[in-house]
Structure 1
Amino acid sequence: MKLNATTDDILSADNHLIQSFCDLDALKQNTARTVINRAEGAFVYDSDGNELIDGIAGLWCVNVGHGRQELIDAVTQQLGQLDYYSTFYNFTHPSAAHLAQKIADLAPASLNHVYFANSGSAANDSAIRILHHYNERRGKPDKKRVLSRHGAYHGSTYLAMAMTTPAFSQTWSSASDLVHHLRSPHHWREGGGMTEAEFLDALMEDLEQSIAHLGADNIAAFIAEPIMGAGGVIVAPKGYHVRSAEICRANDIKYISDEVVTAFGRLGHFFASQEMFGVEPDIITSAKGLTSGYQPLSATIISDEIYEVISAPGEKFLHGFTYSGHPAASAVALANIEVMEREKLPEQVRTTGKQFESTLRDLGELDIVGEVRGSHFMMGIELVKDKATKVSFDDDVEIGGKVAEAAQKRGLIARPLGNSLILSPTLVMQPDLIEKTGDILRESITAVAKTVGH
């Protein structure tokens, strides 16, 4: 089947597509849309032939870059050998089995058992369902509640959305009765004049008080991203994750590290929890960079201790998805990891990612840039009306969207998020492209600042 290639034809067909996280009414009014129809390396190309730096890697995903023939060949070869078979009941197949083994080798020492699904949302839902079952089998059926955080993003399925910061679920319902949200760990916005150390103490006090209020016997897990992603790229104070994990363990609460974004090289390691933040979680969830977006796949990686309980004689594991461990998705994940290891991509990111971080931090000198935050190839830029008071622009100014639009006109895709801009490019960016990205952002922010009186 040959697809229509002109922009008008594609947008006409797109009228039948429900797009994610968008203003559907605005789309009905023919709000400007971008058709991406080709990609290579660190670039994508729209249907009018414009070359754009992929500053968001699709959606935190395309870590090894677009158009990698090794990954394309892995899918093709796997489909030729085994197109599909489930991992239900007592069936398995080579690519899922070998991928599980490889992930267990890469993950922290005690995390040796892997459940596959198709998205980060499903991975996080699976983590909670597994823990609920784990606690049932331990004779602790009341341990169901989940501690999350304001500013978190854990997905958009019914339970994952409940764990996500409430701002994402306005006018939408979710399993919110299961979730308690702790204070945001954003020191620059929420610190209220405290030092970072004092703010960390306040956050730990909030965690301990929440546990005391809810009752440790009612709480199954605390879930946290090492660095918050879609909530604005928020980096918690140093020591936050270690101290949180210690408090959780003292109260028999499992620590889930949501590495859907941070895993597979974005911060310079296959997994960031232990290497960067000093924590060995009870569960790690991952997706996105696992296949570099070439196929939908996620992994929920659980500890030996949890696995021993849920695999003990007496009950079946009644959780599953049709496409768990799909042969083609598993094969491309193996190929993706092989590319990363052969090219030492995580090690490279420890240098180029820091160059990217430094380049963006230099934008902090601009009048409307309040804070530049993040690490390596995971950065956020918060735009403010008044730098001294941190007063934000009014929502109707749509400052993030304006800067993103200005950047796209100059050849860069960046993600607007309210008053912020998020950058999460492919990990194959080299110094010259990093410099060009910084130049485009500087020009775009400066141009927009003039239109809003700066």
Structure 2
Amino acid sequence: MDNTAAKNWDNDHFMHPWEGMDSLGNNDRTFVEASDGVYVTNDKGDRLIDGPAGMWCVQVGYGRDEIADAMAEQARKLAYFSPFNNTNSVASEFAREIAKRTPGDLNHVFFTTGGSTAVDTAIRFVHFRNNMLGQRNKKKIISREKAYHGSTYLSAAVSAKERDPLWLDKLTNIAHFLPNVNPLMRRADQSIDAFLEEKVADLESAILELGPENVAAYIAEPVLASGGVIVPPAGYQKRCIDICHKHDVLYISDEVVTAFGRMGHWFASKEVFDIQPDIITCAKGLTSGYAPMGAAIFSERLIADVSGQHGNGAVFSNGFTYSGHPVSAAAGLASMRIIEKEGILEHVRTIIPHFQDRLQGLADLPLVVDARGMGLMGCIQCAYDKKRDSDLERDYELGARIDAACQERGLILRPMINMCVMSPPLVITSNQIDRMFDILEDAIRAVDSTRGSA
């Protein structure tokens, strides 16, 4: 397939997310043109395992006629409705199906366009509620270093994963960031238990320092996905939510990545981490990536505080043209049906041990600093000198070389500087997991063998 014209159009007109300005107009990106199951096909006809499932999202795999047909049928019947003035049975049904699977009393689903707008909506609601309760100073949001919650102005304000210099303006008066919760970064003489106590104390100290009357919420990914699949010490999430509720601080569980099967359950908060959040945000696997959609899901308790006899004529004036989009809702419903019909959640729970065993099997390879993961998520962190914090330019170069070597061998990764991130479609088989890790191991060894020529 000759993509010469498309390459020119891409460089001349398609400005990509996280666009490197030095290389703008001169990129040689991989063109992904077709797909099936856990594989994508590039413009050269090469078939590659999609290691990151697009962007953590293609849960049920590619080429699902059931989802495509549901979307087409809905588009023919009703392609759009205004969620500001009307409603629609498909969107309403989807909201109900989500609420049936959320933990506890998280029954109110606010549809958004993606994960960033879901987080944005959650924070705006927290502020809205506090204003209505007469707590107008209770606005601070506590987050964590290496957290990523989105790219809108508000969600970016509570994100802190950059190693690069940040050239974008950012709200600086809304968020307070806790230190890195990655066990890899603990002191050499510090046990995991001691590290856990330190990280839990960081949260309570921050609340007390800022003043509980000023702290609105703590937002946390159960596993810090885009920060490099950082898995906090066991019990951290439960200890944190207990501290939050002790001080009347809301807990927002950002499940944009972990929900809809990535951890083997519809939602990870309760089933995996034993926490009952006040708000959950989700996106990505919500529709298996077949159509854009996200959601902020609120508890009955929070809604009751600001509705009915407590409504005071207020309007939660937050919304999007495409909230509850019927075609996206149809895709989400079809994806849910596939997950349940094929027992995909059970399948994920079955293959997680094999995935994590193969991941840990790469820990002692040359260049590998850390192998970490949970559920169907994993990260291999690399460095030439095996230092935890190494030179940024060399880390970029190393990550790019490993990524290129993997693609030559039939695997797409999510390269994040010097981290090789994997979160494959949930339908991946044990044999395909083996093939994925075999390719990654061979690529790392090949790059190590030529490090002198780098």
TM-score range, shorter chain: over 0.9
1:150 Cα deviation after fit:
0.1
**Equivalent residue for 1:64?**
60
CA distance in 2, matches of 1:176, 1:351: 44
- SS at structure 2 position matched to 1:364: coil
Unpaired runs of 5+ residues, structure 1, are none
Task: Tell me the alpha carbon deviations over residues 307-339 of structure 1, each in whole angstroms, 9 at most, x when there is no partner.
Answer: 112323321221111000000001110110110
CA distance in 1, matches of 2:134, 2:391: 51
1:87 aligned partner, one-letter code: P
Task: Tell me the alpha carbon deviations over residues 173-196 of structure 1, each in whole angstroms, 9 at most, x when there is no partner.
Answer: 122210010011101123453111
Q: Is the 8 A contact 1:111 1:304 kept in 2?
A: yes
**Equivalent residue for 1:336?**
335
Q: Is the 8 A contact 2:366 2:444 kept in 1?
A: no
**Equivalent residue for 2:225?**
229
CA distance in 1, matches of 2:139, 2:418: 35
**Equivalent residue for 1:19?**
16
CA distance in 1, matches of 2:183, 2:408: 33
Q: 2:139 aligns with which of 144, 151, 165?
A: 144
Q: Is the 8 A contact 1:221 1:255 kept in 2?
A: yes
CA distance in 1, matches of 2:370, 2:208: 34
**Equivalent residue for 1:421?**
420
Task: Tell me the alpha carbon deviations over residues 413-434 of structure 1, each in whole angstroms, 9 at most, x when there is no partner.
Answer: 0011122111111111111111
Q: Is the 8 A contact 2:7 2:28 kept in 1?
A: no
- The 1:266–1:363 alpha-carbon spacing in structure 2 relative to 1, beyond 3 Å, is same
Q: Is the 8 A contact 1:392 1:419 kept in 2?
A: no
Q: Structure 1 residue 283 and structure 2 residue 279: aligned? A: yes
Task: Tell me the alpha carbon deviations over residues 384-439 of structure 1, each in whole angstroms, 9 at most, x when there is no partner.
Answer: 3344x646355235211211110001010001112211111111111111111111
Q: Is the 8 A contact 1:163 1:176 kept in 2?
A: no
Task: Tell me the alpha carbon deviations over residues 344-400 of structure 1, each in whole angstroms, 9 at most, x when there is no partner.
Answer: 11110011232122112101121211211111321011113344x646355235211
2:83 aligned partner, one-letter code: T
Which TM-score applies when normalising by structure 1? Answer: 0.95
1:58 Cα deviation after fit:
0.8
CA distance in 2, matches of 1:24, 1:289: 30
- SS at structure 2 position matched to 1:217: coil
Q: Is the 8 A contact 1:383 1:392 kept in 2?
A: no
Structure 1 segment 117-128 matched on structure 2, within 5 A: 117-128=112-123
1:324 aligned partner, one-letter code: S
Q: Structure 1 residue 114 and structure 2 residue 114: aligned? A: no
CA distance in 1, matches of 2:115, 2:320: 14
Which TM-score applies when normalising by structure 2? Answer: 0.95
Pick which of 5-14 and 43-52 moved more: 5-14
**Equivalent residue for 1:264?**
260
Q: Structure 1 residue 396 and structure 2 residue 391: aligned? A: no
Structure 1 segment 77-92 matched on structure 2, within 5 A: 77-89=73-85, 91-92=86-87
Structure 1 segment 175-186 matched on structure 2, within 5 A: 175-186=171-182
1:109 Cα deviation after fit:
1.6
**Equivalent residue for 2:168?**
172
CA distance in 1, matches of 2:437, 2:238: 33
Between the aligned residues of both structures, percent identity stands at 41
Q: Is the 8 A contact 1:385 1:391 kept in 2?
A: no
**Equivalent residue for 1:381?**
380
Q: Is the 8 A contact 2:181 2:232 kept in 1?
A: yes
- SS at structure 1 position matched to 2:120: helix
Unpaired runs of 5+ residues, structure 2, are none
1:141 Cα deviation after fit:
1.0
CA distance in 2, matches of 1:52, 1:223: 35
- The 1:391–1:285 alpha-carbon spacing in structure 2 relative to 1, beyond 3 Å, is closer
CA distance in 2, matches of 1:80, 1:26: 41
Q: 2:155 aligns with which of 141, 155, 160?
A: 160
Q: CA RMSD in A?
A: 1.5
Moved over 4 A (4+): none
CA distance in 2, matches of 1:126, 1:26: 34
- SS at structure 2 position matched to 1:109: coil
Q: Structure 1 residue 408 and structure 2 residue 433: aligned? A: no
**Equivalent residue for 1:248?**
244
CA distance in 1, matches of 2:352, 2:404: 24
CA distance in 1, matches of 2:391, 2:406: 19
Aligned residues: 447
1:26 aligned partner, one-letter code: S
Q: Is the 8 A contact 1:149 1:182 kept in 2?
A: yes
CA distance in 2, matches of 1:38, 1:166: 32
Q: Is the 8 A contact 1:161 1:169 kept in 2?
A: no
CA distance in 1, matches of 2:392, 2:143: 28
Q: Structure 1 residue 201 and structure 2 residue 197: aligned? A: yes
- SS at structure 1 position matched to 2:394: helix
Q: Is the 8 A contact 2:82 2:321 kept in 1?
A: yes
**Equivalent residue for 1:98?**
93
Q: Is the 8 A contact 2:50 2:412 kept in 1?
A: yes
Pick which of 186-195 and 238-247 moved more: 186-195
CA distance in 2, matches of 1:329, 1:379: 28
Q: Is the 8 A contact 1:353 1:377 kept in 2?
A: yes
- The 1:169–1:295 alpha-carbon spacing in structure 2 relative to 1, beyond 3 Å, is farther
1:210 Cα deviation after fit:
0.9
- SS at structure 2 position matched to 1:341: helix
